[in-house]
Structure 1
Amino acid sequence: MIKGIIFDKDGTLVELGDSWDQPTIEVVDLLLSQSELSLEEQKDFKLSMGVTDTHILSNSTVAAGSIEDQAKVFQKVLPLPLAEIIQTIENYFYQFFLTNQEPIPVIDGVFDCLKTLKEQNYFLGIVTNDNQRLTEIMLERSGLMPYFDFIGSADQYGSKPNSIAFDIIEKEHGLKLNELVYVGDSAVDMAYGSQTQAAIGLALDEAHLEHLEKADYIIRSFDELDPLLSKLNDHISKKKKEVPMKKKTIVSYAVLASMFFQAISVTTFAQESDASSSVTDSEVISDETEEAATDLFALNKIELVEGNPVSLIDALYAQPSYVTSGVNYLDAINDETFAVRSLRYVRDGESYYLMLSAPETINSTILIETDEGKFKESYIPSDDLMASMAEGLNNYPDLYAGTAVEEFYQYAQMNSDSISGLLINNDYATDTHQLIFNEVQAIDAYLLSHLKQFFEAEGNDFTVVDSEIGDIYYYEVTDDNHENFQTVMLEGQDDESSEEVQALQTFFSQEFTGSIAISMETGSISLSMLNDEGAQAIEYNIRLDQVAVARAEDEQVITADEFNEMIGIELFAPLETSNSDE
């Protein structure tokens, strides 16, 4: 059940508007005056951060990032240490709010909504990319402070979407991720909220929608939040695992762009199709630091042909060493919701991190080591195992009550430290893991080879859309042209294809519409299709990405039998008798 609601602050609870734009523009100009940039270069730099001469662009670095995030960008053009830049920004805003005593406006309906939620004994918190000192001033002056049980700021817990604040809420207040929802108004907020039971987007106007593509639910006012929570709790009580799907619509260019360029962690990437999932504490994968990040094209030894998006399809088809990829299969439960089955992976050289989810099953993660891209060994991270077992038992208590899943959950509650950080070599499932590994590679090979064939044919031309980060090559599959696309996608169809490829071919045998978009700037390809009945959909995305995947160390590895003996539970067994999906 949902027990806590965590909110973003700026643009969600507090309506800053001009009061925020003025000091932001002033402090940006102050810092840039200390750089060696020309006036024209300063203007371009400001635009790259989302700052014009008169206002702040929504969802930009300045609007959605923390003060530290902003300072790191400034550090590229300033001869100043990071700490000094952070202090300059924070002090400037602090002095502004001390001298400007005007009341800070609150979004319409916020007070009534918070009062209603408090009366129902919900835990209420704020996690913001602002700093603690500024956050407290704003909450006090707006009158919001008394409603909240927890305030998490970027200087205390790091900037979103990292999960440190959620960890503190769980440790200090006993609330698990699947007992929380997060409400925000930006793409970063939705990435952050995807770690909880649901990421709820607040869209006060149409412009906000383009930043909320990853939202699980969208509300247009605070009057809609309490009814939505009631609906969520009703779904949970019925043990139904449902993911909302928007009505069939033509995806706008802006939405397609946002699909590519949101700065989300790979943990989020693992969960973006499954609002109920909480496998987010694994140390198997981690974001690369800004210092460690390199040119992904150079890292993957890729040279693209300028103006030719097919060259990116070729490059991704060649299986680059640093990439993320995934496919979602969506099947309608009713007019409003879809059940989602998802296969995703992250590749870091010879290491792969696979993530699988499906309705009414325990989500699985698998660490696979390869030799020149060929399957070598597989492991189950014990931290992921603890999280997924807890999630499965919480979502489907009737299904897993009295099984090894419940026994392990109870053991892990008391002994998590002793089994954390292990990699379980489950010989019972090696063949299954290798099959899954082969399937995700077959998905990439099938889709990329057929997209290449389609776009090399005469007449199948992209529309080029100009964006802030470069050209987006966009192709819309409509009722008028879908037969041409369908013909190519079904070429080579036979019973020898892998199970996942056959599932894709079955979808493409229907009437459908959708879109394909390619960004050569970011190395991303996205495909989204919905059948004409609105009952099935497919989402596919592959992109260059540098994410660190842990390598197996001898002291970490333990066999399935050794793990069973350690916990005193036969959790892993030959597949025909196993109670675990792992």
Structure 2
Amino acid sequence: MIKGILFDKDGTLVEFNTLWINSTYSVIYELVKQYALGDYVGKTNKIAHFIGLKGNEVDENSLLAGKTSKDISKVIADSLHADQEKIHKEMNGLYYRYVQEHSEDIKAIGNLAALFKQLKKNQLKIGIVTADNFDVTMLTITELGIRKYIDFIGTADLYEKKPSREAMEVFCYAHSLKPDEVIHVGDTPVDMEFSKHGRFGVGVLSGVGSEETLRKYTPHIVESVQDLIDNKGNFIYSDSLLELQAY
């Protein structure tokens, strides 16, 4: 029986492109201006390409799609011949300020409050496991009005980054769940690797991962998280509905 759901954040609960593409270009540009000598736009675009940005598209297997700010800061620091720890700290601050100042760009994928309320009616524990940091994650879920529904927040500055099993283990321990009672919902290969620590993964097509790629990991593919509840208000992976799907 599925008793818990761990959600990825960006591309799964929140539209990826509306916030993270512009914010990433902005953050890189500010760092380039501080550490480089001239050709700021050219160097910004070069670093953006290194981490997976191709214009306004994101490579589904890139650092930006599935890695942490620490991973990204190493690429930026190496490119600018700067200290990674300093770049990482400055980068996190720049991202946080950008999200604060552009909170209107935090776009939920559907009505998340209604979705989470219905999942709670189906007796499910809800968690978020993201490559993002805690401060930006809290800012995001507060802006979306879903904080009260969330039982666990696992961010890359608190736990080992996905696909490590640590966040899954802590979530299960905190809520007396077994791993095979938990599913993970996400949009990238890293999410699907992480889902192997639970019952199974559910791939969503609302983010950067293609259906072809996600199907290499799981047969459970939906257009978005909104499809987790059927038109009768039932969780589609309840035991009774899973049995029907098997026939």
Q: Identify the TM-score tier after normalising by the shorter chain.
A: 0.7 to 0.9
**1:75 and 2:77 matched:** yes
Whichever residue aligns with residue 146 of structure 2, its letter is: L
Say if 1:181 and 1:196, in contact at 8 Å, map to a contact too.
Answer: yes
| Structure 2 counterparts to residues 145-224 of structure 1, below 5 A | 145-204=147-206, 208-212=210-214, 213-224=216-227
The Cα of 1:80 is off from its aligned counterpart by 2.7
What's 1:49 paired with? 51
Whichever residue aligns with residue 105 of structure 1, its letter is: K
Say if 1:18 and 1:55, in contact at 8 Å, map to a contact too.
Answer: no
What's 1:64 paired with? 66
Deviations 1:28-73 (A, max 9, x none): 2233442589776764442131124x42415221132211111122
CA distance change for structure 1 residues 35 and 175 in 2, over 3 Å: closer, same or farther? farther
CA distance change for structure 1 residues 20 and 223 in 2, over 3 Å: closer, same or farther? closer
Structure of greater Rg = 1
CA distance change for structure 1 residues 35 and 192 in 2, over 3 Å: closer, same or farther? farther
Say if 1:109 and 1:222, in contact at 8 Å, map to a contact too.
Answer: no
Whichever residue aligns with residue 19 of structure 1, its letter is: L
Whichever residue aligns with residue 233 of structure 1, its letter is: D
Moved more, 225-234 or 156-165: 225-234
SS across alignment from 1:76: helix
CA–CA distance in 1 between the matches of 2:147 and 2:193? Answer: 25
CA distance change for structure 1 residues 216 and 196 in 2, over 3 Å: closer, same or farther? farther
Whichever residue aligns with residue 224 of structure 1, its letter is: D
Say if 2:188 and 2:209, in contact at 8 Å, map to a contact too.
Answer: no
Say if 1:65 and 1:129, in contact at 8 Å, map to a contact too.
Answer: yes
Percent sequence identity over matched residues? 28
Deviations 1:274-328 (A, max 9, x none): xxxxxxxxxxxxxxxxxxxxxxxxxxxxxxxxxxxxxxxxxxxxxxxxxxxxxxx
- Specify which structure has the higher proportion of strand: 1
What's 2:113 paired with? 111
Say if 2:110 and 2:226, in contact at 8 Å, map to a contact too.
Answer: no
5+ residue gaps, structure 1, are 239-243, 245-332, 335-582
CA–CA distance in 2 between the matches of 1:153 and 1:23? Answer: 19
CA–CA distance in 2 between the matches of 1:110 and 1:58? Answer: 26
Deviations 1:468-515 (A, max 9, x none): xxxxxxxxxxxxxxxxxxxxxxxxxxxxxxxxxxxxxxxxxxxxxxxx
Greater RCO (CA < 8 Å, at least 6 residues apart): 2
| Structure 2 counterparts to residues 369-448 of structure 1, below 5 A | none
- TM-score (structure 1 length as normaliser): 0.38
Whichever residue aligns with residue 14 of structure 1, its letter is: V
Whichever residue aligns with residue 221 of structure 2, its letter is: I
Whichever residue aligns with residue 162 of structure 1, its letter is: S
The Cα of 1:190 is off from its aligned counterpart by 0.9
- Specify which structure has the higher proportion of helix: 2
- TM-score (structure 2 length as normaliser): 0.84
The Cα of 1:78 is off from its aligned counterpart by 3.1
CA–CA distance in 1 between the matches of 2:86 and 2:16? Answer: 26
| Structure 2 counterparts to residues 266-415 of structure 1, below 5 A | none
What's 1:7 paired with? 7
Deviations 1:220-267 (A, max 9, x none): 2334313595455248889xxxxx9xxxxxxxxxxxxxxxxxxxxxxx
